[in-house]
Chain A
Amino acid sequence: MSLVIFYILGAAILIAALMVVTLRNVFHSALFLVATFFFVAGIYLMLNAEFLAAVQILIYVGAVTILILFAIMLTHKIQSKSIRQVNEQVLPAMIITGLLLVMSVLAIIRTFGDSPPKSKNRGSWTATFDTDKIRDNDGFLDWAAGIEDESGKDYYAFGSLTILGDNAGTPMGKKVKAEPGIGNGYIVSSNSGFTTSNIVFSRGQNVYFKIWSDEVDYNSISTAELYIFRAVDRPGEDPWSLLGSIGDDEKIVIQLSNSNSESIGRLLMSKFVLPFEVVSVLLLAALIGAIVIARKDG
């Protein structure tokens, strides 16, 4: 189904783009450019990039094409049919572009011909456990998470936690609330074996369990459990003693993953804040420059 949508969108994009570069009337070209941008926004939606799709429509469809249409209208006479719109190098240009297309398609097929999509992070666990209980621990915990969907099918995931850092980070006995922050996990089907994942965090640091699977429809999850085990061999102790468990609907929260816009907003304001500011200043400078250039009495 999504393949059909992809082919329709792709064909629409390519046809509209060909219209943009071949039509004689530049004004019509600009209108087809709007269509191209719109369909590309559809491709972004297919790629789970909702924020980018919105930005595409806002900036490209809303702003850039309006600029282009204004430029076309301000430079009237250029759209008259008598003026030749293409130069003399159409044939060599077509040959060169065709060669480039063939070469890049061959390279793409050879490199990425059969790469399956990785599943997207879909949900998160919010887990609370008592640090007092892991005070004497050498720093290795195992966790197990399980969910059950509506049809009663179980999915389990196992992984390990490593606690680094000083013990002074959190007063002993205080409950550490696991919040979005770090770590990852996998939910795999119980039929297909286990996937383990190592999680390293400092004491007192937030723990974030992300679970994902292509097989789980997260709307159909009925129960969820998270267990944290002590997996260190100590004499006289059960190596798999349970440190904490969160079951069903009381404490554990399965939420569909952070919305795409929220994640991008967080990233823009944390990891990418410097490039973001630089690009903002660049855009401001470019707009001022554009005004200065286009001023009549300049």
Chain B
Amino acid sequence: MPGLAHYLILAAALFCVGILGLLTRRNAVGVLMSIELMFNAVNINFVAFSRFLSPDALSGQIFAVFVITIAAAEAAVGLAIVILIYRNFRGIEVDKINFMKW
């Protein structure tokens, strides 16, 4: 039976993959997808801690539900912004959209 450390290491690896995508992707949609991966890693942590440290309380699972909700809201707003940027710049490469760079 996998222990707590198994799940935490899996989540850490998934989080690192998400960070890798976040740092390297030029495509804004790809960046958003990487962020979703990181949200999932955090959720695995929440559920694993909930299961292994206080199996009765379920607080971790409730928080995971909230995180999923926030992730959905973030995806909706982020993709709306992506579409707006595409409309104005004809491209969504994040390293090209630097008009707010000082």
**B73, A294: Cβ atoms closer than 8 Å:** no
Q: CA–CA, A262 to B60, complex, Å?
A: 15
**A71, B83: Cβ atoms closer than 8 Å:** yes
**A108, B24: Cβ atoms closer than 8 Å:** no
**B47, A52: Cβ atoms closer than 8 Å:** yes
Q: Mark B65-102, 1 if CB is under 8 A from A, else 0.
A: 11011111111110111111011000111010000000
Total interface residues on B, CB under 8 Å, equals 73
**B17, A17: Cβ atoms closer than 8 Å:** yes
Q: CA–CA, A64 to B72, complex, Å?
A: 6
- Report B's interface with A, CB cutoff 8 A: 1-10, 12-21, 23-27, 29-30, 32-34, 36-37, 40, 43-44, 47-48, 50-56, 58-59, 61-62, 64-66, 68-77, 79-84, 86-87, 91-93, 95
Among the listed stretches A134-142, A164-172, A237-245, A278-286, which one makes contact with chain B, having 4 or more residues with CB under 8 Å of it? A278-286
Given A47-B47, A75-B83, A97-B23, is A118 in contact with B68 using a C-beta cutoff of 8 Å?
no
Q: CA–CA, A42 to B10, complex, Å?
A: 13
Question: Which residues on the A side are within 8 Å of B59 (C-beta)?
Answer: 267
Given A43-B7, A93-B24, is A272 in contact with B62 using a C-beta cutoff of 8 Å?
yes
Q: CA–CA, A93 to B47, complex, Å?
A: 28
Q: Is A55 an interface residue (CB 8 A)?
A: yes
**The residue from A37, A94, A104, A294 contacting B80, defined by CB atoms under 8 A apart:** A294
**B32, A68: Cβ atoms closer than 8 Å:** yes
Q: CA–CA, A48 to B34, complex, Å?
A: 26
**A279, B55: Cβ atoms closer than 8 Å:** no
Q: CA–CA, A46 to B10, complex, Å?
A: 13
Given A74-B83, A121-B55, A121-B56, is A87 in contact with B24 using a C-beta cutoff of 8 Å?
yes
Nearest residue, chain A, Cβ from B10: A10
**A40, B23: Cβ atoms closer than 8 Å:** no
Min Cβ gap B57→A in Å is 9
**B92, A78: Cβ atoms closer than 8 Å:** yes
**A108, B5: Cβ atoms closer than 8 Å:** yes
Give the top 4 A-B pairs by smallest Cβ distance, nearest first: A21-B21, A286-B73, A93-B23, A290-B80
Question: Which residues on the B side are within 8 Å of A30 (C-beta)?
Answer: 29, 33
